[in-house]
Structure 1
Amino acid sequence: MTRIFEPLLEHAIIYIDDILLFSRDMETHKALLRRFFDTANQYGLMFSEKKIHLAQSEIDFFGMHFSQGSYQPQPHIAEELLNFSDQSLILVVQTPEEEPSPMGPEQTRAIQELKKIAQSPPALKIPGEGKRILQTDASDFYWGAVLIEELDNKKFYCGHASGQFKEAKKHYHTTFKEALAIKNGIKKFDFHLRGYHFEV
């Protein structure tokens, strides 16, 4: 499916047979839909009327709620993240890398704050015409990346990612860990970075 609609990928998200088309305004969207259906007819593709939703200003797609140029997890996904954070906390505390510190009021407050954030995460901007910036960082065990768009001297957060280094990579020199964070960030945000000049 991706190969068939390759000329439209700048304005489409495709996963197997689920397709999301997006545009800045209705006129552009009408033109995009014409191109989409012309291509579909050319390849003999058929669609279910019940599953087609045209000209939506808000839509839920693969666990994310898209609205007016921004997106955030749907409530049920935020709830799953909250439950995951409870379980992962147990694993982090029991990590044998270092002696765990006892839980105190400061840790309890931090956990409560994280739970609030997980329940209603801030909306992220869908990148547009601004300058794309990838910020990354690495510690001994973890890496993180943030995708930012700079537009009219304002910065908008477009996405974030993080992960834990595999055991062998935890022994890498700091410089190599920083390079891995950049590599992982580019891989994570490939869809938003491919074909664009961006700053690291």
Structure 2
Amino acid sequence: MPFGLKNAPSEFQKIMNEIFNSYNKYIIVYIDDVLIFSKSIDEHFKHLKTFIWLAKSNGLVISEPKIKLFQTTIRFLGHTITNDTIVPIQRSIEFADKFPDKILDKKQLQRFLGALNYVSDFYQNLAKDAAPLFKRLRKNSPPWDDTCTKVVQIIKHHVKNLPCINLANPNYFKIVETDASDLGYGGILKQKNH
């Protein structure tokens, strides 16, 4: 392992990518978490057979207690995925209530804003909403005021009421919507289902 263990996750991911990238139409790998998805049971058997063959032929060990087969709803990388939707797991949503509306400690504010990363894909305009809080992380920032408290309350409300993300259907027309400002940038993929 070059340069010590701190590079172990990225090196392992690189190896996993080399093994499985040719099969990314039905195998997603993130470090040691693997998701295999299929449109039918017969197809899933074929995909599993390919995965097991690849794992064995590359000396990878599969942990049987962690295997979940033929699931229509799964938890993967902090999300619950069904046939057509993705939602953040409940733990990612509940974090917001653990913080006070007045976050005066800089480290606590950093934790709050950092935790929002887990739900940022589901929260439109997060960068814009959170901008006053990010300003509080700067040196010589202005004191906490009612605006900051209101921002935290708005963010908590949005986090509790996040929408799901629908998985893209390759057969539907796609629209890419982007937006950018001095505060941030973002984009979404939309689809018309007719």
Picking from 147, 152, 161, the partner of 2:189 is 147
Aligned to 1:55: 70
Q: Give 3-state SS (helix, strand or coil) of 2:176's partner.
A: strand
Picking from 34, 39, 43, the partner of 1:19 is 34
Structure 1 portions without partners, runs of 5+:
154-200
Matched residue type, 1:144: G
What per-residue deviation string (whole Å, max 9, x for no partner) do you get for residues 41-67 of structure 1?
322322111111111111111111111
Superposition deviation, residue 126 in structure 1 = 1.9
CA RMSD of aligned residues (A): 3.2
Aligned to 1:133: 175
**Native 8 Å contact 1:82 1:118 kept in 2:** no
Superposition deviation, residue 151 in structure 1 = 4.5
Structure 2 portions without partners, runs of 5+:
1-15, 104-108, 114-129
Residues in 2 aligned to 1:82 and 1:13: alpha-carbon distance in whole angstroms: 32
Picking from 118, 124, 132, the partner of 2:159 is 118
**Native 8 Å contact 1:78 1:118 kept in 2:** yes
Residues in 2 aligned to 1:8 and 1:36: alpha-carbon distance in whole angstroms: 9
**Native 8 Å contact 1:12 1:20 kept in 2:** yes
Higher strand share: 1
Residues in 2 aligned to 1:65 and 1:26: alpha-carbon distance in whole angstroms: 21
What per-residue deviation string (whole Å, max 9, x for no partner) do you get for residues 74-126 of structure 1?
11111235667964556246488xx99x748xx94x76554233024111112
Q: Give 3-state SS (helix, strand or coil) of 2:29's partner.
A: strand
**Corresponding position: 1:73 with 2:88:** yes
**How many matched pairs?**
148
**Native 8 Å contact 1:69 1:125 kept in 2:** yes
Q: TM-score, normalised by structure 2?
A: 0.62
Q: Percent identity?
A: 29
Q: Give 3-state SS (helix, strand or coil) of 1:56's partner.
A: coil
Higher helix share: 2
**Native 8 Å contact 1:75 1:119 kept in 2:** no
Residues in 1 aligned to 2:193 and 2:160: alpha-carbon distance in whole angstroms: 31
Matched residue type, 1:141: L
Residues in 1 aligned to 2:169 and 2:48: alpha-carbon distance in whole angstroms: 20
1:1-200 alignment to 2 at 5 Å? 1-80=16-95, 87=109, 88=113, 91-92=133-134, 94=136, 103=146, 108=150, 112=153, 114-129=155-170, 130-148=172-190, 150-153=191-194
